[in-house]
Amino acid sequence: MVAVAVAGAALPITVFPACVARSGPKTAALVELYTSEGCSSCPPADAQLSRLRQTLDSAAEVVPLALHVNYWDYIGWKDVYAQIAFGERQSWLVHANQERTVYTPQFFVGGTDLRSRQGRLSEQVKQLNAQPATAAIRITAEPTTNGTLKLSAEATTPAASVPASLYLAVTENGLVSKVTRGENSGATLAHDHVVRIWIGPIRLKEGAAKVQRYVALPANWIRSQLDVIAFVQEEPSGKVLQALRAMKCAGS
């Protein structure tokens, strides 16, 4: 962090350097958890996602996402982290996996439904990490002086590959909710990797895609707890070709 004094200004302007991340040669495992604060069986899965890094090998490459759905809101508790688009994406992934049932908590690893969470998630991560990546991603995140975050992502795949799209997200860690109604009434819930901003799909054309956005960061979001995620996914199979996480890139 560098403080730059500007002539005529009473206070210095804080300038944060751009954060740049590039994907590596092996496939990182995108782990998506579809969850809800209105679902009584979801808190253990939320905790599993929070502990994911500690339960994997130190060399494991994993990109976690918690996507809160809103279809449990009707039973009395509105999940403030839920977005309609996440339930729609979950339904699309279920269809892409040639399945019929949408449920919570539901894990997808690399775009594949993980029916049994016990002892299989780490195995699936290992299998994906052993595969050479078939896409390359670059993320640039730069906090601006007016409180927005400048996000850029680029992705490439072999020109002859199947149709694919680029997605970009901002996630937040360390969130806590005190639930007063619904199935989890009286519980205090902790969440990590919660998707706050979702951008995409951006279709790759001739094996390449770029996206740039300036996104507003609400004052109650903790900048040091924000990560930037990008991934490339085949359409319509749902297979994730590569994923990348740039950690703590929104300033402090």
Domain locations along the chain:
2-247
Q: Do residues 129 and 139 lie in contact, with contact meaning Cβ atoms separated by under 8 Å?
A: no
- Residue 211: CB atoms within 10 Å: 17
Confidence of residue 11 (pLDDT cuts 50, 70, 90): very low
Q: What is the pLDDT of residues 28-58, one digit of tens each?
A: 999 999 999 999 999 999 999 999 999 999 9
Q: Sheet harboring 112-114: ordered strands across? A: 112-114, 106-109, 29-35, 62-68, 194-203, 164-172, 226-234, 240-247
Range of 74-83, 142-151, 243-252 with top mean pLDDT = 74-83
What pLDDT is recorded for position 160? 67
Structure tokens at 228: 């930037």
Place of tokens 């009286």: 186
Q: Where are the alpha helices (DSSP H) in 97-179?
A: 121-129
**Measured at the alpha carbon of residue 202, what is the angle toward residues 200 and 203, in degrees to the nearest 5?**
140
DSSP for 175-242? Answer: EEEE--SSTTTT-EEEE-SEEEEEEEEEE-BTTEEEEEEEEE--TTS-GGGEEEEEEEEETTT--EEE
Task: List C-alpha distances in Å: 159 to 108, 148, 208, 234, 241.
Answer: 27, 34, 8, 13, 14
Q: pLDDT band for position 248 (50/70/90)?
A: confident
- Look at strands 62-68 and 29-35 and give their pairing: parallel
pLDDT at 5: 36
Query: How confident is the model over 8-29, as a mean pLDDT?
Result: 75
Band (7; pLDDT cuts 50, 70, 90): very low
pTM > 0.85: yes or no = yes
> Structure tokens of 92?
């699309």
Residues 6+ positions from 32 with CB-CB distance below 8 Å:
65, 67, 93, 107, 108, 109
Angle at 45 between CA 102 and CA 105, to 5 degrees: 10
Residue 13 has pLDDT above 70, yes or no: no
* Of 51 and 3, more confident: 51
- What pLDDT does residue 8 have? 41
In the three-class reduction of DSSP (H, G, I as helix; E, B as strand; rest coil), residue 153 is classed as: strand
Mean pLDDT computed over 193-212: 96
Question: Residue 200 pLDDT > 70, yes or no?
Answer: yes
Q: What is the pLDDT of residue 146?
A: 86
pLDDT value of position 115: 78
**Which amino acid, 59?**
A
pLDDT tens track for 88-114: 999 999 999 999 899 999 999 999 999
* Residue 49 parent element (H or E): helix 42-50
Nearest C-alpha neighbor of 194 from the set 44, 36, 74? 36
Q: Which pLDDT does position 35 carry in this prediction?
A: 98
User: Mean pLDDT across the chain, nearest whole number?
Assistant: 91
- Identify residue 226 by its one-letter amino acid code: L
Torsion sign across C-alpha atoms 199, 203, 208, 210 = negative
Q: Which of 11-20, 49-58, 68-77, 157-166 has the lowest mean pLDDT?
A: 11-20
